[in-house]
Structure 1
Amino acid sequence: MEFHIKNLPSTRIAYVRQVGPYGPANSQAMETLKSWARSKNLLTKSTILFGIPQDNPETTLPAHCRYDACIVISKDFPLDGSTPDLNEAELPGGQYLICKVKHTAEAVGQAWTIIFSHLQTSGYTLDNKPILERYTGELLHLDYCEICVPVKSQ
């Protein structure tokens, strides 16, 4: 598994939030977001989507876990408020440990174990920002995603 450190810029996002146990409902949130994005002609080869699990299921009750399905939008893209489930936010930039993985439950689960082991020997520690699953147009077609773990130097 390959890892690299990359500085990601702060970006404006539109997102749909799902609250409840992580799993199939996360996919539904992403499909809701994609449906909205299609209606606005925002799904292109250069589109960047994020899945952001906001809570650690080991410390947060499953019923309270939040998952955000996000799309990067330009600073001047108008959100008209016509979609009640759609919110906007600024995703913080910074250094991230990035790992490209096949987008299957098994591969992503294995990656989580390896990422945290790698982090212990990398000279970096976890930063206090959300962990991201990043999907770009090219990776989506190949059925891959990138897990982006916020880090800071030790």
Structure 2
Amino acid sequence: MEVRIERLPELRVAGIRVLGPYAESGPQAWKLLTPWIARRQVTSASTMFLGLCHDDPEITPPERIRYDAMVTVPEDFEPDDYVIVRVIRAREYAVAVHKGPYATLPWSWSAMYWEWLPASGRTPLGAPRMEAYLNDPGATPEDDLLTRLYLPLAPL
């Protein structure tokens, strides 16, 4: 796995939270958020489609796992009652690209945590992991899906 360290700027995002195992909550969250995105016409060429993974499924009870489906929005975006808006602070991330079905994302995350991280000399930060979905799952074969993984890192 090729991992690089990247500093992301502050991101303003809007979206929804769904509870449950990531394999269920992720698709459910996007199913709920996608019509809102189309209705509000919030996308542009620079929009990021992000999944924020708050919990470790090995530790957290399945019904308490939090997943946020989010899209980046401009500073002047006016939210409605359907979405939550938050700011993701600027910070460093370990970044890798996963190619393939979303169902195999846990394997790439495991590789980052158990192979790359111990050898890197870095420490993870207690902040949500992020997944940036780089292509449309409705128009892309599963084996060609690209997801950029962002593991937040503690400052050196």
Report the TM range for the smaller structure's normalisation.
Answer: 0.7 to 0.9
- List gaps (5 residues or longer) in structure 1: none
Look up the equivalent residue of 1:145 and give its one-letter code. Answer: T
TM-score normalised by L of structure 1: 0.86
Match of 1:147 among 146, 149, 152: 149
Alpha-carbon distance in 2 for matches of 1:58, 1:80: 34
TM-score normalised by L of structure 2: 0.85
Regions of 4+ moved over 6 Å: none
User: Which residue does 1:122 correspond to in 2?
Assistant: 120
SS of 2:22's partner is coil
Alpha-carbon distance in 2 for matches of 1:6, 1:145: 16
Matched residues, number: 149
Deviations 1:125-145 (A, max 9, x none): 111211111124xx4465201
User: Which residue does 1:100 correspond to in 2?
Assistant: 97
Matches within 5 A, 1:20-39: 20-39=20-39
Please identify, of 43-52 and 58-67, the stretch whose mean Cα deviation from structure 2 is larger.
43-52
Alignment root-mean-square deviation, CA: 1.8
Q: Point out the structure with the larger strand share.
A: 1
Alpha-carbon distance in 2 for matches of 1:133, 1:123: 23
User: Which residue does 1:50 correspond to in 2?
Assistant: 50
Question: Per the alignment, do residues 78 and 106 of structure 1 end up closer, same or farther by CA in structure 2, a change over 3 Å counting?
Answer: closer
Deviations 1:88-128 (A, max 9, x none): 11112200000101141454222122111111111211112
SS of 2:153's partner is strand
Over the matched positions of the two proteins, sequence identity in percent amounts to: 28
Please identify, of 11-20 and 21-30, the stretch whose mean Cα deviation from structure 2 is larger.
21-30
